[in-house]
Chain A
Amino acid sequence: MAFVDYYKVLEIDKSATEADIKKAYRKLARKYHPDLNPNDKEAEKKFKELNEANEVLSNPENRKKYDQYGENWEHGEEYEKARNQQQQYQNSGGQQGDFGGFSGFSGGGDYSDFFESMFGGGAQRATRQNAVFKGQDFNAELHLDLKDVYTTHKRTLTINGKNIRLTIPAGVENGQVIKISGQGGEGVNGGPKGDLYLTFNIENSTNFKLDKDNLYTTVDLDLYTAVLGGEITANTFDGKVKLTVKSGTQSGSKVKLKGKGFPIYKKEGEYGDLFISYHIVLPENLTEREKELFSELAKLRGK
């Protein structure tokens, strides 16, 4: 359990007045408020720390106790005594009043172990029963491979201990966020349920690169087929395809296979295109005879 320097959190020094604390807190809250920093875990963490610091420092009694024992919370006998007194105070049903924090926000703030240990946690929290009506929104990340999102499929996810069966539409993009209504936390006082925001994190372990709905891949082509032309079999994303190679095919040249790309999101049966680049592989470890023949070919071209 680490000591938390609340003055540092609020970027003030120990001589700060109540007005300074309020001002510092307000200023930083405007910067780190989660509603202004959606999907920013760092900001959310910082905001919780601000609330905790404010709860301690804006309350003269808490501040006094913190200044006196804070740093020595671990060893001080005085600290223990103070803690016992604190517990008695709580047991006697003491009211600490509203610290003006935002702990009602998004289902309540998490307090540091340090805070819980020094100020007893729960009983001291400033609660705002009315701050929430709609249930809490949940955020979750789903890690999939590109292969998984080639076809529309159903998947069961466990979110906050609840199983949710979802249809994952083919062609969903990396980084895309899907909102699933009503799959968040329960509402308060008959308020509607929260929503679930699912972010797709899609890794690509295939030999295909994706750009929007088009797929790109490279196929090795031996020198002889490239020069003379012929037929090859190439892999598509979900199968194989026979290709006719024109004679004199250059390295790096591309062919487009219409409709063999990636499925287009929410457009069933529609696909992007597949672009195949040829990579011509030259023969290695030539025999004497082969060298002779290549020399002859070179001569014919005047090389």
Chain B
Amino acid sequence: MNKDNWIQLQTICSHYQLEISFFTNLRDLGLIEIEIIEESLYINENQMHNLERIIRLHHELEVNPEGIDVVFNLLQKIEHLQKELATAKNRLRLYES
């Protein structure tokens, strides 16, 4: 597999000073995906945005991974509702003079 866009988990662990178990726990909860390439663990670059959010919520607000999962689900709902609201507002323009 091409390793472009993949970041070795070890690099991420040392950067954030976190144990590998922190990330495997996130994977077990379905919050991130970890790939094995040539016997090393990797995370795709496109997951970094979420991963950093997870780390911040964990460090800064002391939310545990299960709590983060709940937060993410609720944020997703909010996002969905906001999209719906934007669509409804756009439709409302139809009736405004």
Seen from chain A, the residues whose Cβ lies within 8 Å of a Cβ on chain B are 26, 29-30, 33, 35-36, 38, 102, 105, 130-134, 137, 173-176, 181, 188-192, 195, 204, 209-211, 216
Contact = CB atoms under 8 A, between A and B. Distances in A.
Given A33-B57, A137-B49, 15 more contacts: A26-B61, A35-B57, A36-B71, A38-B79, A130-B15, A131-B59, A133-B12, A133-B15, A133-B16, A133-B52, A174-B90, A175-B90, A176-B86, A189-B15, A191-B7
Contacts of A189: 15
Given A133-B16, A191-B15, A35 B45 contact: no
Of residues B17, B60, B86, which shows the largest number of chain A Cβ atoms within 10 Å of its Cβ? B60
Contacts of A176: 86
A175 B56 contact: no
Contacts of B81: none
Given A175-B86, A191-B15, A209-B93, A33 B60 contact: yes
16 contacts: A30-B61, A33-B60, A35-B53, A36-B71, A102-B60, A130-B15, A131-B59, A134-B45, A134-B52, A173-B87, A174-B86, A189-B15, A191-B15, A192-B48, A209-B93, A211-B91
B37 interface: no
If over half of A's interface residues share one DSSP class (helix, strand or loop), that class is named, otherwise mixed; here it is loop
A75 B24 CA distance: 57
Interface string B36-56: 000000000110110011011
B94 interface: yes
A181 B86 contact: no
Contacts of A181: 46
Contacts, number: 69
B7 A192 contact: yes
B86 A130 contact: no
A38 B50 CA distance: 13
Of residues B48, B55, B89, which shows the largest number of chain A Cβ atoms within 10 Å of its Cβ? B48
B29 interface: no
Contacts of A209: 93-94
Interface of B: 5, 7, 11-12, 15-17, 45-46, 48-49, 52-53, 55-57, 59-62, 71, 75, 79, 86-87, 89-91, 93-94
Nearest to B15: A133
Contacts of A30: 61
Given A36-B71, A133-B16, A191 B93 contact: no
Contacts of B52: 132-134
Contacts of B86: 173-176
B49 A38 contact: no
Nearest to B60: A102
A29 B62 CA distance: 11
Nearest to B11: A190
A130 B48 contact: no
A38 B62 CA distance: 19
B61 A38 contact: no
A189 B5 CA distance: 15
Contacts of A137: 49
Contacts of B59: 131
Contacts of B93: 204, 209-210
Contacts of A216: 94
A188 B16 CA distance: 11
B80 to A, nearest CB: 13
A130 B71 contact: no
A99 to B, nearest CB: 13
Contacts of B48: 133-134, 191-192
A192 B56 contact: no
